[in-house]
A and B are shown apart, each in its own frame.
Chain A
Amino acid sequence: MSRIHVTANVNGDEVEFLADPRETLLDCLRDHLGLTGSKEGCGTGDCGACSVTLNGRLVSSCLVLGVEAQGAEIATIEGMAKDGDLHPLQRKFVEHAALQCGFCTPGFLVAAKALLERNPDPTETEIRFWLAGNLCRCTGYDKIIRAVQDAAAEMRGAA
């Protein structure tokens, strides 16, 4: 099947790649652009390990076709730290031991960042429901929720 030329902006960088029309955005990020931070845990949009933002909207990149990225702005885990400084969420995840195997972590971080951009002061319940699209099998979520709460508090304090 002939491939389609796609140009997009990923983490602030102009990129281009050739996508088979059957390939997902996740495939393209990982296999064509070498951005393997986004993970495939299910391929059916159930686990959230592939979470990225597409034009500011949180999506499962396994449910977006690569060719749909034409002209889009995409943000992945690789773009979350700025100039070597970790995002508060990234720092708090490490401090709170909110990861064990770490495989789901990029998706949780991208999803949590999208939450805090919309709602800087979410309740525990709001955090739990927002992150219900991200599966973690190691932690029981406790430390993840606490890390998000702590990061949100720090970001509110800094704002």
Chain B
Amino acid sequence: MAKDEITKGYTWIGTTPDRPDGLDKVTGRARYGADFSLPNMLHGAVVRSPHAHARIVKIDATKALALTGVKAVVTRADLPTGLTGEDLYLQENTLAGEKALYDGHAVAAVAATTALIAQDAAKLIEVEYEVLPHVTDVDEAMKPDAPVILPGCADHSVPEGSAPNVARYIDFGRGDLDAGFAEADVVRSAHYTTEATHQGYIEPHAAVGQMGADGKGEMWVCTQGQWYIRKMCSAVLGTDPAQLRVTPSEIGGGFGGKTTIFMEPLPLALSKKAGGRPVKMVMTRAEVLRATGPTASASMDVKMGMKKDGTITAARVDFRMQGGPFPGASPVGEALSCAFACYDIPNLGHHGWEVLANRPKCAAYRAPGSPMAAYAVESMVDELCRELGLDPIEVRLKNGVKEGTRASFGPKYKRIGLVETLEAAKAHPNYAVELGPNQGRGVASGFWFNHGGETSVSMAITEDGTAQVSVGTPDIGGSRASIALMAAETLGIPYENVRVNIVETGALGVNEPTHGSRATFASGKAMWEAAQGAIKEMCKRAAQKWDIDPEAVTWKDGAAHPAGENAGKFEPMTIKEIAAEMGKTGGPISGHHESTPSGAGPSFGTHVVDVEVDPETGHTKVLRYLVVQDAGTAIHPAYVEGQYQGGAAQGIGWALNEAYIYGQDGRLQNPIFLDYRMPVASDLPMIDTVIVEVPNPGHPFGVRGVGETGITPPLPALANAIHAATGARLRKLPMNPPAVLAAIRAKG
């Protein structure tokens, strides 16, 4: 539960009031993507390729257009040409051009007066395909004779003679690997693989788009970032972003998957073709799984050397990750940078290959790249600890990074909290529970960079002395509450007197999405800066009234005060008094802040899991689970805990069960929730949490983003626990019952 003992002299920060949008969300009133409708609205449907790789010979929409109620059909021929780079890939992904590149790739879209007619019409659009050989496996895709997905995809980094589906090669390190391995008492290497998983947000993508012949448009859409939607849709459609106004709905989960576009340009394109009538488009679950952005699948090698005392002397990783059919989507770069981020190792080598495959275009998924890297590296650390008979927490403490350590990916760390998470995990009662037969304990740590990003925030003082804050980062997990708490703290007014609005693209400068664990950090920091502007103006108004220098006025407890004895003796002027007469004293009072803030302090966490493995079935039951993570300062501790628990649950799903399963035909075989089985309530125990607070020097209240790190340690922690329970080491995800049983039997 929320940690009441954390006090820093704050009035509001660290408390757990009801979230401002709570009432709307427990009564069914909150409007999500599919809940929005407009007069005279049409409904859209998409025709998707049933083939993993096929040349599109012909698209014939004659029969569809003849159906009563059908108003428009859009194919790639309706979109502008000449795009390059990521804009071209976004357009290719929105509607296939010459080739369909994966099972589920959109080929055409239709708008009709009802959703049922649109679905019927989609079936009447005839597409002639010439089926091509395909490849979905990352290692197969790296073979020299693999089917070529995008000829000439390689950028300058790729060595000559590489396989044709290698789009990028990354290579960095430090020290002397050979010398480092020679120093070690034990050197081991192993191969690990992970399968693609989906973010699994419960809300399918949905949008209502309207665009006239003049290129002016509006869109209501569930998204993590309305400005990204505006920029990307405009690029794909060849329209002016300033003429597209995008309003975000409430969002039913994203986890990175709603930071980009999939079908979103289509309602706009259909609307334009249908004379400007608004078009609503809602994906089915199968469309979400087949044709939005899951994460990469990975093939990874790790080599590590350790001394008998636990000192890690050298390490090397070789990561190969497919990100779908377009360059730039695979998170291999992030995975390499995260691989050894928890460790201070003098000799390091990192090698990565970004590979194309006939799978959907990857999107971000909570700490993209980091969970796979952690699975490989944290498993290997555990293998070495077991071989040398060392405690896994002690070894991590011995090699763990701290303030001043040069990170494996380059910069020196400022104040960070890895060691504190390890100490707290070691001291937690879960770490001392005695285990029974077939039970085992696993430990792993994890890392995420955290992100600042373009941010624009406004604060306006209301006539009654309350405050409204306009932010551009959609509220996915309680950020309205955290920003309102920080605003209340900054202004010295009650939490209830702050209204936080998530606004449309016309209301603020550009904001990056709610991604990179940045909403509470970046929008919170910008809110604080904006509030300083409003406070300065309020002090000025008081100074005017008192006829003293504005510099002689300070702000505290929601009121302007004379700064000291010399400033003069005046009764404090409250925000309510100042606001009541602001129209007569100089006009509305507000504050703004625009920046790309630096100083998003990195996030570290340590997880401890106990499992029991059924030796008859291979089923792994999670007995208890502990998340320890550094939050910097927990603004609303209950929602911080929620991030820890949710990240852990997603990681548990990835570790034990979730996977994209492709058939020999290249088609996704499990595109519904029955078969893409995410953890349900009966799969999990309560998830224990410890919020460590090592304040981030880069934020006025010490905030570190908390959203992402939590998904990282569960993959290796569970592998380590299963090994402890069974003696079998699983180096391939998911570790589902058949896989665990086979590993137990192979061990003999």
Interface residues of A (CB under 8 A from B): 1, 20, 22-23, 30-31, 35-44, 46-47, 49, 76-78, 80-81, 86, 90-91, 93-97, 99-106, 109, 124-125, 127-129, 131-146
**A142 and B686 within 8 A (CB):** yes
Residues of A within 8 A of B29 (CB): 37
Nearest Cβ on chain B to A49's Cβ, whole angstroms:
6
- Known interface pairs A101-B253, A102-B25; 11 further A-B residue pairs with C-beta atoms within 8 A, sorted by A's residue number: A30-B34, A31-B115, A96-B638, A100-B642, A101-B252, A101-B254, A101-B477, A102-B252, A140-B642, A143-B638, A144-B681
**B674 and A44 within 8 A (CB):** yes
Q: Is the interface of A mostly helix, strand, loop or mixed?
A: loop
Q: Which of B22, B253, B638 interacts with A138 by CB under 8 Å?
A: B253
Residues of A within 8 A of B34 (CB): 30, 36, 39-40
Q: Known interface pairs A46-B672, A101-B251, A132-B682. Does A140 touch B646 (Cβ–Cβ under 8 Å)?
A: yes
What are 8 A-B residue pairs whose CB atoms fall within 8 Å in the complex? A20-B114, A31-B115, A47-B285, A95-B18, A97-B642, A125-B682, A132-B682, A140-B679
Residues of A within 8 A of B19 (CB): 94, 97
Q: Known interface pairs A142-B687, A143-B642. Does A78 touch B678 (Cβ–Cβ under 8 Å)?
A: no
Residues of A within 8 A of B284 (CB): 43
Stretch at the interface among B199-207, B579-587, B694-702: B199-207
Interface residues of B (CB under 8 A from A): 16, 18-19, 21-32, 34-35, 114-116, 199-204, 250-255, 282, 284-285, 476-478, 636, 638-639, 641-642, 645-650, 672-674, 678-684, 686-687
Question: Shortest 5 CB-CB distances between A and B: which pairs?
Answer: A37-B28, A103-B252, A140-B649, A102-B25, A140-B645
Residues of A within 8 A of B282 (CB): 40
Residues of A within 8 A of B199 (CB): 137
Residues of A within 8 A of B647 (CB): 140
Chain B residue with the shortest CB-CB distance to A36: B35
**A139 and B672 within 8 A (CB):** no
**A145 and B204 within 8 A (CB):** no
Give the interface centre of A99, A100, A137 by most chain B CB atoms within 10 Å: A137
Residues of A within 8 A of B682 (CB): 125, 128-129, 131-132
Chain B residue with the shortest CB-CB distance to A80: B27
**A47 and B673 within 8 A (CB):** yes
Residues of A within 8 A of B641 (CB): 97, 143
Give the docked Cα–Cα distance between A40 and B284 (Å). Answer: 9
**B203 and A41 within 8 A (CB):** yes
Give the docked Cα–Cα distance between A62 and B305 (Å). Answer: 55
Nearest Cβ on chain B to A30's Cβ, whole angstroms:
8
Chain B residue with the shortest CB-CB distance to A131: B681
Give the docked Cα–Cα distance between A134 and B682 (Å). Answer: 10
Q: Known interface pairs A20-B116, A41-B285, A78-B28. Does A141 touch B681 (Cβ–Cβ under 8 Å)?
A: yes
**B681 and A138 within 8 A (CB):** no
